[in-house]
A and B are shown apart, each in its own frame.
Chain A
């Protein structure tokens, strides 16, 4: 890595840190009404949401609305999320398709028949409303589509440039993609799965690597509200589940033998090891899921917590310290985006390799 690359990274991180200041300042805007609650602000930014909140202007939040799609008793109901007018306390009622909908703590509820206002119990759960089936295009879903579109664009362009050139020399965007693809092939798939079988798993490994990486990077861009896609446990669960399904389907005789009847150990030990190995089979995808989710979410929480120090101490003199620290964390996070994508891919490849390993003759 040259000095120039470092300079570019540093400049990018600096710009991000500066825009994070603007981004954190939107929440404590109306201080007269309520005290600044760091935990609330952080959790609000880490969670999924309906629409992108950009900035606050004259105490009026400006945001990009996204469609809310619900499946109710009267069939499909759809409206834009700005129908709630940024209300998250359940007071604004949207009437659509014969149903009354409210938004409470970023969840959409449908009021029961004949009710006119939401009633909350002591734990702030509604008592007279139910949650309809929700297929809304939320912030996370939208950003996921954006990253899918970006990956498709990059790789289709690269593929086209290979088709055009006769000598197979990568040109343009292909020159950027080729080393990464070769890295996944030579550093991840080949050593972990084995020379003869790695080719079948390459499409999945490449997809997972680039999809996680793109989503991680999008999560760090503050202007799009830091959509926390890879810090969403449903997202990581789906990816881990796919790895688990492939491992289970592709598992050969040798793999199942190592789980249920471990060769090379005495019989009482075999009986003792079997349940442990069965649990281990499920813990592996579980740890894949938790690792990605917790790493990315923790990064977001740390940056936002450092920023909220300014509002907790209520003085501008803390800001140099908190900006410098969050800049430092942001630079680390840029490395973490790549490391976490690498770790997820490498462990998936490792599990595939374990599932397809042939019996060794000692």
Chain B
């Protein structure tokens, strides 16, 4: 396998990680909003922040893959 292939594989793995992480955050946020609709705004903004934090880690992987690919 070439280095480009490995880089593409790494980008894919990073995407899987971010997908699981953001999916869990989104699911829990939806549940919480359904239970307490009056907290809708607060839950949404903290869910966005957490999603950004999770996403950043996987973006590190994507950037490394981009540099190698």
Give the residues in chain B near A343, CB-CB below 8 Å: 48-49, 52
Inter-chain contact A347/B59, CB cutoff 8 Å: no
Inter-chain contact B56/A290, CB cutoff 8 Å: yes
Q: A290-B56, A290-B60, A294-B59 are in contact. Are A347 and B45 (CB under 8 A)?
A: no
Q: For the complex, give the distance between the alpha carbons of A342 and B41 in Å.
A: 14
Inter-chain contact B48/A342, CB cutoff 8 Å: yes
Q: For the complex, give the distance between the alpha carbons of A62 and B13 in Å.
A: 41
Interface size (B, Cβ < 8 Å)? Answer: 14
Q: Does A295 contact B (CB under 8 A)?
A: yes
Q: Does A346 contact B (CB under 8 A)?
A: yes
Main SS of chain B's interface residues?
Answer: helix
Chain B window 32-56, contacts with chain A (Cβ cutoff 8 Å), 1 for yes, 0 for no: 0000000001000100110011011
Interface residues in A296-311 (C-beta closer than 8 Å to B): 297-298
Give the residues in chain A near B55, CB-CB below 8 Å: 291, 295
Main SS of chain A's interface residues?
Answer: helix
Give the residues in chain A near B66, CB-CB below 8 Å: 297
Q: Does B63 contact A (CB under 8 A)?
A: yes
Q: For the complex, give the distance between the alpha carbons of A291 and B48 in Å.
A: 13
Give the residues in chain A near B22, CB-CB below 8 Å: none
Q: For the complex, give the distance between the alpha carbons of A213 and B10 in Å.
A: 30
Chain A window 134-153, contacts with chain B (Cβ cutoff 8 Å), 1 for yes, 0 for no: 00000000000000000000
Q: Does A133 contact B (CB under 8 A)?
A: no
Q: Does A178 contact B (CB under 8 A)?
A: no
Chain A window 305-348, contacts with chain B (Cβ cutoff 8 Å), 1 for yes, 0 for no: 00000000000000000000000000000000001001100110
Inter-chain contact B49/A291, CB cutoff 8 Å: no
Give the residues in chain B near A297, CB-CB below 8 Å: 66
Give the residues in chain A near B45, CB-CB below 8 Å: 187, 346
Q: Does B62 contact A (CB under 8 A)?
A: yes
Chain A window 33-44, contacts with chain B (Cβ cutoff 8 Å), 1 for yes, 0 for no: 000000000000
Inter-chain contact A290/B52, CB cutoff 8 Å: no
Nearest chain A CB to B50 CB, angstrom units: 11
Q: For the complex, give the distance between the alpha carbons of A343 and B48 in Å.
A: 8
Give the residues in chain A near B56, CB-CB below 8 Å: 287, 290-291
Q: For the complex, give the distance between the alpha carbons of A187 and B59 in Å.
A: 26
| Among B41, B59, B60: residue with most chain A CB under 10 A | B59
Nearest chain B CB to A116 CB, angstrom units: 35
Give the residues in chain B near A294, CB-CB below 8 Å: 59, 62-63
Q: Select from chain A the residue with minimum beta-carbon distance to B55.
A: A291
Q: Select from chain A the residue with minimum beta-carbon distance to B63.
A: A294
Q: A287-B56, A290-B56, A291-B55 are in contact. Are A339 and B62 (CB under 8 A)?
A: no
Interface residues in B1-59 (C-beta closer than 8 Å to A): 41, 45, 48-49, 52-53, 55-57, 59
- Which residues in A have some Cβ–Cβ distance to B below 8 Å? 187, 287, 290-291, 293-295, 297-298, 339, 342-343, 346-347, 350
Q: List 9 contacting pairs A-B, 8 Å CB cutoff, sorted by A.
A: A187-B45, A287-B57, A290-B56, A290-B63, A291-B59, A297-B66, A339-B48, A343-B52, A346-B49
